[in-house]
Amino acid sequence: MPSHRPVLCEETVTLLTGCADVALGAKSGAVEGVYVDATFGRGGHTRRLLEVLGRDSRVIGIDRDPVAVAAGQALAASEPRLVVVHGRFSELGAVLAGLGIEFVQGVMMDLGVSSPQLDEAERGFSFRFDGPLDMRMDTSAGPTAAEWIDAASEQEIARVLREYGEERHARRIAAAIVAARPIRTTRELVEVVRAAQPRGTPGKHDATRAFQAIRMAVNDELAEITGGLAAAFAHLLPGGRLAVISFHSLEDRLVKQFFRTCSTPPALPRRLPVRGDAGRAEARIVSAGVTASAAEIADNPRARSARLRVLERLRLSEQAA
């Protein structure tokens, strides 16, 4: 089975658990608690987390990709502290409720696609391999990229290419895509994108931006991040932490803004008495952006654009308290 190399793994587990011993190579039992890996993938981060958690701890793995869930359930068969559930991280509250859990000590999210998703031609994520134009993380639901292209207006395709792919030639490429419909394979899409780019465009043969943009639209990725961050924070105990790794400036901007909002004290009317904690921020920023070391990037080029941000909950909101 193709594997995925976890990015910023030691940094994530250290900062998620708040346990300095992890950095010192702690093997087991350093920390107890209930943790969520909201993007299980092939469980790279979960495996490291399980190494440092004690016997009474639990890890809830979530992934929207049925193949990742099957890999996780195979691991869970021999690891009683792990349960892996199929779902979207924006549904994290419902997943926890289904397991009878209200609050957790930590949630980690490692955004984007996994290496097995990218490397398997039949998933249709990569312009490097010919395959069906699918791009769904969850192959059990929703339109494929081919169906999304069939249904979207030219304006919508141009908006997606411009906003999610930062594609300078968005309008030209959108018009070419609409003229070429139906597009059924990754190779067909690569050819349409290449042909639509003006002669002499730097990186002319690079369909990366268009593929990334369409993938983000098909999987509604930015709305998922917004929903996932809110759901994760709502279920954190005071002292609990949220660790998020992003790979793209649009993803990172959402994480940064969410963390900033949570860590800003509420604006209260002046001169009125403030009860209890009401004037304090609900969270503090533990880390505003850890990036991979040169050694990790040399070893795993995917780590190049990774950025880890970590938030700690300080108190429950008025409604939850």
Ligand X SMILES: C[S@@+](CC[C@H](N)C(=O)[O-])C[C@H]1O[C@@H](n2cnc3c(N)ncnc32)[C@H](O)[C@@H]1O
Question: Site residues (CB under 6 A) for ligand X?
Answer: 4, 6, 39, 41-45, 62-65, 68, 88-89, 110, 112-114, 137, 224, 228
Of 97 and 274, CB closest to ligand X? 97
Query: Which CB sits closer to ligand X, 4 or 169?
Result: 4
What three-state secondary structure class fits 282? coil
Half-sphere exposure at residue 269, Cβ-oriented, CA atoms within 13 angstroms: 3
DSSP string, 27-47: -SSSB--EEEESS-TT-HHHH
Residue with smaller CB distance to ligand X, 13 or 183:
13
What is the DSSP-derived secondary structure letter of residue 57? -
Q: What is the nearest approach in angstroms of ligand X to the Cβ of residue 43?
A: 5
Question: What is the nearest approach in angstroms of ligand X to the Cβ of residue 3?
Answer: 8
Which is nearest to 214 in space by CA: 156, 259, 298, 274? 156
Least distance to ligand X from the beta carbon of 154, Å? 27
Report in angstroms how near the CB of residue 54 gets to ligand X at its nearest.
21
Q: Closest approach of Cβ 137 to ligand X, in Å?
A: 4
The DSSP bridge pattern shows strands 236-246 and 104-110 to be: parallel
Query: Whole-angstrom distance between the N-terminal and C-terminal Cα of the chain?
Result: 45
Shortest Cβ 196–ligand X spacing (Å): 29
* Least spacing, CB of residue 194 vs ligand X, in Å: 27
31 vs 61: CA distance, rounded Å = 18
Nearer to ligand X, 121 or 222 (CB): 222
Q: Which residue has the tokens 């039992």?
A: 29
- Closest CB to ligand X among 62 and 157? 62
Comparing CB distances to ligand X, the nearer of 17 and 39 is 39
Please enumerate in sequence order all residues whose Cβ is within 8 A of that of 289, keeping only pairs 6 or more positions apart, or say none. Answer: 252, 307, 308, 309
CA-based torsion, 83, 86, 90, 93: positive or negative: negative
Q: CB under 8 Å to 181, separation ≥6 — which residues?
A: 149, 150
Judged by beta carbon, residue 263 or residue 305, the one nearer ligand X is: 305
